[in-house]
Amino acid sequence: MTDLELNSGKKVRIESVTMQGITKRFPGVLANDRVDFDVKASEVHALLGENGAGKSTLMKILYGLYHQDSGEIYINDELVKINSPTDAINLGIGMIHQHFMLVPTLTVTENVALGLPSSRGPLTDLDRVSKRILELADLYGLRIDPNAYIWQLSVGQQQRVEIIKALYRGADLLILDEPTAVLTPQEVDELFGIMRQMVNDGFGLIFISHKLHEVIEISHRVTVLRNGKKVGTRPTSEVDKSELAKWMVGHAIDFITTTDQIQCGEVRLKLENVSCESDRGAKGLKDINLELCSGEILGLAGVSGNGQRDLAEVIVGLRKVSSGKIFLEDEDITGADVDVLIKKMLSYIPEERMRDGMIKDFTVAENLILREHDQPKYSDNGFLKLKSIENHAKELIKLFQIKTPSHKTMAKSLSGGNIQKIVLARELSRKPRTIIAAQPTRGLDIGAAEYVREQLIIQRNNGTAVLLISEDLDEIFALSDRIAVIYEGKIMGILSREDATKEKIGLLMAGVLPAEQA
């Protein structure tokens, strides 16, 4: 048996991987239904599909984290059995998970060395590992400090650690599970550069995404999954965006943008020379001055980790201001508590919704009143009004099309997209006067993302002030009336949409001021 040879550690370079008729059933859910998929050396094969389409499941089977109920996997046309990640690693398969599989309290080197035999027997050989990391980093342009702790790294850097981990283990087939979902445009470009170089070196890459333009940009072939079934496989050169979208969603989609220009109203939110400290060595904010008017969407562009999060938190009262003043509707709210600001109809869609925006072990209904649970509408002298909470939930479930068995279901048992919908439904349904929306479409599939954008535009048209923090420049350009750029905690400039070009914004995001641009 050749698979014996493969499993016994005799490394064969992967020329092709073929998955045939893969079926995987979870209790009650058919996650993969007779899916065929293959990838060859020196190509990027994109796996496209909406959330819950079965992309990740299929790849976890390939990586040995799940076991298929039926179906076979062949490497170089030989049948293999992959029972665990160890098997996959030994076969030369590496996986970059959507949620990084890194131990935050360990260094880069330690994370890479974890689980590997050491040349020094029971002792770690971290020096050797870190030397090799630097070699690999050099080879593929993955700049990284081997001695840094993971928690000190940006998301993009963490992803590089993940790639290095796979490369270090001698992977020549790499599965990238939604690698761009958490990256800035620049980081995406960098990643694509790395991917291209790897393809040139003979790697096979599986690129999972639901972002059409990225798929078109990077992949050689694309396979679309929907509802656990394969819709089809095509060479990327033969398909276009709208066709793929139709495959994915099952019906055609119109991409929306704001076209009309609405007159700015009164100033809803004003920041005067606001500075703050940040967590764990990040930069914080320095002398931010910003005005947000009613009836406008102010897009805040910037590379991840340049203070966007701190800015949002300072405004909504989650972070202390070290100097400067913040006014909401002309009232000084510097240092005000979160609950006070909630009552002033300030809505906040946090960036990390799973962590900050909802409570997994609460029911859908309870999550839908998270920020308003003590408002008279839902509570009366400290007692919850269960009936009106229930009605509220039922209403929003219908309105925002949240897929849940009932309002009493625990949020944790819903899919990621639906959990996001709960947060959005809660924040947008309360007729806010000001909205801070941090990466509101991140992690959503096309349909849902368009829906959210639509909602933001409706809010703006109704006179709400919207601060849209996004690292997706397309989104910024599609929605914003004005665009501000943040870099290292400072506002580099604010441009109207007419004046803004991707080039100008891009340079500001890189920290280059207009004066220098010339």
Partner 1 sequence: MKSRLNAILDALLPLFATLAALLVGAIMLIILDVNPLVAYGALLNGAFGSSNALAETLVKATPLLLVGLGICIAYRGNVINIGGEGQMIVGAIVATWFGLRYTNMPGWLMITLAMMLGALAGAVWGGIPGVLKAYFNVNEILSTVMMNAIAVQLLNFVLTGPMIDPIQSEKASQIPQTARLEEAYRLPRLVPTRLHLGALIAVGLAILVYFLLWRTTLGYRIRSVGQNKFASRYAGIKVERYIIIALMLSGALAGLAGVTQVYGVNFRMITDGSTSGFTGRAGYNGIVAALFGSLHPIITIPASILFGALLVGANTMQRVTQVPSALITALNGLVVVFVVSSEIWRKKRQQKRLTIAIEDQEFDEFSNEIPGHSVEEAS
Partner 2 sequence: MISDLFSLTVLLGIISSGIRLATPYLFASIGEAFSQRSGVLNLGVEGQMILGAFTAFYVVMNTENLLLGVLAAMGVGALMGLAMGFVSITLQAQQGISGIGFYLFGLGMSNLLFQLLVGTVETVSGFPKVPLPILSDIPVIGELFFDHNILVYLAFLIVPIASFVLNKTNLGLKIRSVGENPEAADSLGVSVSKVRYFTTIFGGAMSGLSGASLSIALLNVFQLGMTAGQGFIAVALVYFGAWRPWGVLAGALLFSLVNGLQLWIQVLGINIPSEFAVMMPYILTIFVLTLSRSKYGAPSALTKPFEREG
Site residues (CB under 8 A) for partner 2? 24, 26, 57, 60, 63, 65-67, 84-86, 89, 95, 97, 99-106, 110-111, 113-118, 122-124, 165
54 or 302: whose CB is closer to partner 2? 54
38 is an interface residue for partner 1 by CB under 8 A = no
We find the least distance from the C-beta atom of residue 433 to partner 1, in angstroms, to be 16
Beta-bridge partners for 467: 298, 436
Cα 371 from Cα 484, distance rounded (Å):
28
57 or 470: whose CB is closer to partner 2? 57
Q: Which of residues 203-242 bind partner 1 (CB under 8 A)?
A: 226-227, 229-234
Interaction partner, residue 319 (partner 1, partner 2, none; CB < 5-8 Å by kind): none
Please report the DSSP string for 368-418 in residue order.
HTTTTTTSTTTEETTEE-HHHHHHHHHHHHHHTT---S-TTSBGGGS-HHH
499 is an interface residue for partner 1 by CB under 8 A = no
Q: Which of residues 346-375 bind partner 1 (CB under 8 A)?
A: 348, 350, 352, 355-362, 366, 370-371, 373-374
Cα 438 from Cα 312, distance rounded (Å):
7
60 or 460: whose CB is closer to partner 2? 60
Interaction partner, residue 174 (partner 2, partner 1, none; CB < 5-8 Å by kind): none
**CB-based contacts of 40: which residues, under 8 Å, 6+ apart?**
15, 16, 17, 204
Beta-bridge partners for 234: 222
Are 329 and 433 in contact by the 8 Å Cβ rule? The answer is yes
**CB-based contacts of 280: which residues, under 8 Å, 6+ apart?**
151, 152
Q: Which of residues 279-338 bind partner 1 (CB under 8 A)?
A: 316-318, 337-338
Cα 511 from Cα 138, distance rounded (Å):
25
We find the least distance from the C-beta atom of residue 406 to partner 2, in angstroms, to be 23
Cα 110 from Cα 82, distance rounded (Å):
26
Are 102 and 161 in contact by the 8 Å Cβ rule? The answer is yes
We find the least distance from the C-beta atom of residue 79 to partner 2, in angstroms, to be 21
Q: Which of residues 401-430 bind partner 1 (CB under 8 A)?
A: 403-406, 409-410, 413-414
Interaction partner, residue 103 (partner 1, partner 2, none; CB < 5-8 Å by kind): partner 2
Cα 39 from Cα 202, distance rounded (Å):
12
> Running DSSP on this structure, what letter comes out for residue 237?
G
356 or 474: whose CB is closer to partner 1? 356
* Interface residues toward partner 1, by CB under 8 A: 26-29, 226-227, 229-234, 246-247, 250-251, 316-318, 337-342, 348, 350, 352, 355-362, 366, 370-371, 373-374, 379, 382-384, 386, 403-406, 409-410, 413-414
